[in-house]
Amino acid sequence: MPPKKRITIHDHAAEASLFKRRALFTFVCVFILLSVLLSNLYQLQVVSYKDYETRSNDNRIRVVPTPPSRGLIFDRHGQLLAENQPYYSLEMIPERIKNLDETFDKLNEIIEISDEERQNIKETLKFHRRFKPLTLKNKLTEQQVASFTVNQHQFPGIYVEAGLKRHYPHTELMTHVLGYVGKINSRDKAMLEKNNNWKNYAATKDIGKQGIEKFYESLLHGLPGHLEEEVNNRGRVIRTLKVTPPTPGQDIYLTLDLKLQQKAMELLAGRRGSVVAIDPRDGGILAMVSSPSYDPNQFVHGISSKAYSDLLNDKSRPLINRSTQGQYAPASTVKPLVALLGLDERTISDRTRVWDPGFWQMPGVERKWRDWKKWGHGWVDVYHAIIDSCDIFFYDLVYKVGIDKLSPFMAQFGFGESTGVDIFEESAGVMPSRDWKRLRYNQPWYNGDTISVGIGQGYWTSTPLQLANATAILANKGQRFTPHLLKSFKDDTVKIDTPIDEQPPIEIKNPKNWDIITEAMRLTADKSRFTDAKYTAAMKTGTGQVFSVAQDQKYDAETVAEHLRDNALIVAYAPFENPTIVLAVVLENAGWGGVNAGPVARALLDEYLLRDEWTIPSE
């Protein structure tokens, strides 16, 4: 008998309730998902529109920085000292070269490509995008450019690229003042990043390395421009959308006088030494020459290791700026300042006389400090002590004054500290004191140390710039200016003069003492190099010992090695009544200051003061 069918009774109310619950749940889920979708769309299209538009454009538009042209450098009369010259390089688009070796062989018939250059190019290609330019050769000559241009149709994918590079037309003449520019290295990049300035150098390959080029880098460099290029997904350029030109660097004018600089270098004639000339009316440096020098242009394109090693190992040290880094015993050139201290302290007067038998002894001491004149000068007052450079007079004076007054007095004239000149390469020299010797040598100060320092020897060292600056202060009778090289800069089309940095003057107890010392220097000039000059000058020579000679020995230049011979020095200024130029000349191992440095000073003052366009101020 077949089984009975089971009869199911539907509960329509329950089913309807279940359906409603499921439909509501589904609707809620769909609503939530739609809400999330709409929310994301709103976030993308409205809230984050700018952000994603920028990202999209970054993928489509490439911003390429363009370098600014570097500012030019001129002397005070507008003579060009540093310029930008066009340079040419040979560039290649690798993807357009079918056979690289054949191309090199063919190209070598026009422009020589060495085996080393070939190998370097092949190594670089391994990591180089083939549609981007690659440099084959730098520093093409005009003849090479012309030869290639005529045959360029034979070399698809190779072309000549032009640019600007720094050039110094006067080569060795201005090296230690201007410095030079060179390729940006890792140290330069780190410094730029530290100063948040790296973005301004994104398109620049060179940066100031020394001298004016480095000190005024912010003025000379300028600001980069940029190109906006549309590129495809592989980075290939499709078209140029926008061009923003760079802002060129500002031209600057220096206080230097090119003719005077040339004359100083001519007079040094390759000898080791330095010449510094200052305008005492404002502290502007008229000439700053260090010899021997070197051609800074070789650093612009990258100096070879051998050439740099030769400069570095040269015994004459051409890389040193002797004007600001050379440290020499000032010798007798500072005797006028020592005499001024004696007058100011009333240790001596203009009527004081000291007996000079050719030697001087400290009370209770057997040692004899000798004068340069073996038989002495007899009775000497302050005028003749400066004119004849009598050592005995100053031995006696500094013994009475003492180092504790001498050192701080000389510090007022800038000895022992940087002058503040606007280049970074400067030494402070040494103005010794008790504390200095204790810190340096852990030794006490002896009276014998004072005697040597009193005639500009011993521990006392100074740079030629410090000597010129101190003499300018003396010529100004206490008025002081910070020595500087920048005269003005050109902002768009207007030249703007830089402010003069005048420092508080040196005040002495009796201003008439200035006149006593300057008159003694005038008499010194009248008696020697400037007897027949058409202007009135003041001067003081010096002969600086490089090594100490025992009191029972005699210095003989003929038997002494050249590098141990005395240095020749002179400081001078003119016109005496209203000084417009102050000089300091140092010649290494040249001997007597008056005989060797004197003619240099005379020729320079003649060059500057006796030009046709120059008028000597009247009294």
Average pLDDT over residues 577-587: 96
Q: What number of residues does the chain have?
A: 619
The whole-model pTM stands at 0.82
Domain ranges of the chain: 64-123+130-254, 258-293+322-609
Q: Are 83 and 169 in contact (CB under 8 A)?
A: yes
Residues paired with 585 in a beta bridge: 275, 570
Other CB atoms within 10 A of residue 117 CB: 13
Backbone angles phi, psi at 432, to 5 degrees: -70, 155
Q: What is the dihedral of CA 97, 100, 105, 109, to 10 degrees?
A: 40
Closest residue by Cα to residue 113 from 87, 127, 134: 134
Place of tokens 């005077």: 260
Establish whether 332 is a catalytic residue. Answer: yes
Which tens digit of pLDDT belongs to each residue from 450-471?
999 999 999 999 999 999 999 9
Q: How many Å apart are CA 583 and CA 464, to the nearest integer?
A: 9
Average pLDDT over residues 268-284: 95
pLDDT for position 56:
58
Q: Given 332, 389, 433, 462, which residue is catalytic?
A: 332
Average pLDDT over residues 264-273: 94
pLDDT for position 554:
56
Task: Tell me the helix, strand and coil percentages in the chain, rounded to 5.
Answer: 40, 20, 40
Angle at which helices 391-401 and 335-344 cross, to 10°? 40
Please determine, for residue 98, whether its predicted confidence score (pLDDT) is greater than 50.
yes
Q: How many Å apart are CA 268 and CA 278, to the nearest integer?
A: 18
Percentage of the chain surpassing pLDDT 90? 52
**446 pLDDT tier (thresholds 50, 70, 90):** very high
Residue 500 DSSP code: P
Question: Does domain 64-123+130-254 match CATH 3.90.1310.10?
Answer: yes
Closest residue by Cα to residue 462 from 430, 489, 485, 436: 430
Largest CA distance in the chain: 166
Average pLDDT over residues 582-602: 89
Average pLDDT over residues 49-68: 69
Average pLDDT over residues 325-339: 95
Q: Are 241 and 274 in contact (CB under 8 A)?
A: no
Residue 595 DSSP code: I
258-293+322-609 topology per CATH: Beta-lactamase (3.40.710)
Amino acid identity, residue 574?
A: A
pLDDT for position 572:
96
pLDDT for position 254:
96
Q: At a CB cut-off of 8 Å and minimum separation 6, what does 351 contact?
A: 381
**549 pLDDT tier (thresholds 50, 70, 90):** low
Which tens digit of pLDDT belongs to each residue from 512-540?
999 999 999 999 999 888 889 999 999 99
- Binding positions for Zn(2+): 356, 371, 377, 390
pLDDT for position 619:
36
Give the 3-state DSSP-derived string for 82-119, with helices as H, strands as E and coil as C.
EEEEEEEEEEECHHHCCCHHHHHHHHCCCCCCCHHHHH
Q: How many Å apart are CA 514 and CA 283, to the nearest integer?
A: 19
More confident residue, 575 or 38: 575
Residue 318 DSSP code: T
DSSP 220-280: HH-B-EEEEEEE-TT--EEEEEEEE--BPPPEEEES--HHHHHHHHHHHTT-SEEEEEEET
Q: How many Å apart are CA 285 and CA 487, to the nearest integer?
A: 9
Angle at which helices 403-411 and 434-441 cross, to 10°? 90
Which tens digit of pLDDT belongs to each residue from 218-259?
999 988 888 777 766 655 667 777 778 888 999 999 999 999
Please determine, for residue 5, whether its predicted confidence score (pLDDT) is greater than 70.
no
- Binding positions: 356, 371, 377, 390
Of 507-511, 605-609, 613-617, the range with the lowest mean pLDDT is 613-617
pLDDT for position 408:
96
pLDDT for position 21:
83
Please determine, for residue 1, whether its predicted confidence score (pLDDT) is greater than 60.
no
Which tens digit of pLDDT belongs to each residue from 387-419?
999 999 999 999 999 999 999 999 999 999 999
Averaged confidence pLDDT in the chain: 87
Please determine, for residue 296, whether its predicted confidence score (pLDDT) is greater than 80.
yes
Which tens digit of pLDDT belongs to each residue from 341-372?
999 999 999 999 999 999 998 888 888 888 88
Q: At a CB cut-off of 8 Å and minimum separation 6, what does 617 contact?
A: 575, 577, 578, 580
